[in-house]
Amino acid sequence: MDIIAELCQNHNGDTDILTQMVESASKNANIVKIQTIKADTLTRRLNYESHRPYEGEYQRLKGLELDIDTERLFTELCKDNDVESMTTLFTPDHIDRFNEVGYDHLKLSGYSIPYFDYGKLLKDIKFKKFFFSTSSLTLEEIEKTILNLNEMGIDYTMLQCTCIYPTPLKKSNLQNISFFRDVLEVEKVGFSDHSNPYKNGLLVTKLAIFQGIDALERHYTILDVDKTRDGKVSVNESMLKELNRFIYLSKKEQYEELNEFNNEQIFNHDYYRGRFK
C-alpha cells in the first residue's frame, strides 16, 4: 500500500521547512508529494471575487512558489531519504517542467483532469505511476477517464476524494471505494483524505484503510495547525506514524480496534443479555 505524504503548501515557500518536511515524512510514508503551482497561471474570475479575491490569492500563491531548482532539490531530498517523489500538475503548460525535474510519480486533481483531456495528454509525460482523485468529477467523467487510461495502458490509482476542506464524515463517501473496485472494475483504488484529524481523530482514514485501499494520501505538516492554510486537514508525524501502525495490523486486529466497545456498549450488552430468561 502506498502512503503519500502530501506536503501541499505547508512548506510556506521556505526551502528549510521543505527539507525538514521530507525528512520527517519519509519516516512513515513511501511517497512524498508537493504541488507545482505558479501564480501567473491563476485566472481572474469576477464572480468569485467575493469568495477569494484575485489579488490576495495571487500574492499568496506567489509567496508559496518553488522555483525549478528547488523542485530539483525536492526530488534529490526524496532520493536521499529513500522515498519516491511526486507532484500535482494543474495545467498542461507545466508538462515540460515536470519532465525536466524528473519526478517519480504524477497526480492530477479531479478538477484538473478535464484540462488534460481526461488523461489523453498523459502521453507526453514521463512518470512511473499515475494517481488521480475523483473530487469534482461526475460519474460520467470518471468513466471517461478510466476508459482513456485503460486504452493507453497507464498504471494508475484512482483516489476517492471529496472537494470539501475539511471533509465531514457524512461526505467522505467511503462507500465509493467498493463501488469503484467492484462496479467500475478499477484495479487500484485509494483514498485522499481531507478530514480534520484534530476534530475527528483518524477514524475516517482508518475506516478507509480497513476497506483495503491501495493508496492513502494525507496532507502533512510539521508546523502548528494554524501556521499554514492547509493545517486543519493535515496530519503530523505522530499521526502518520499511528496510521502506519494501523496499516500493518491484521484485518482481525483492525476490526477489533475499530469495534472496541465503549462504556455505553458494555453497559447495554450486560443489561440486554440478562434481560430475559
Domains of the chain: 2-250 (3.20.20.70)
Least confident of 58-62, 92-96, 150-154, 254-258: 58-62
Residue 200 clears pLDDT 90, i.e. is over it: no
pLDDT at 77: 97
The three three-digit cell numbers of residue 269, written as one number: 450488552
pLDDT at 274: 85
| pTM of the complete model | 0.94
How many Cβ atoms from other residues are within 10 Å of residue 236's Cβ?
A: 17
pLDDT band at 92 (very low <50, low <70, confident <90, very high): very high
| DSSP 3-state of 198 | helix
Q: What are phi and psi of 214, to 5 degrees?
A: -95, -15
d(CA 193, CA 200): 12
Burial 164-196 (b: 16+ CB within 10 A, else e): eebbeeeebebebbeebbeeeebebbbbbbbbb
pLDDT band at 29 (very low <50, low <70, confident <90, very high): very high
pLDDT at 229: 84
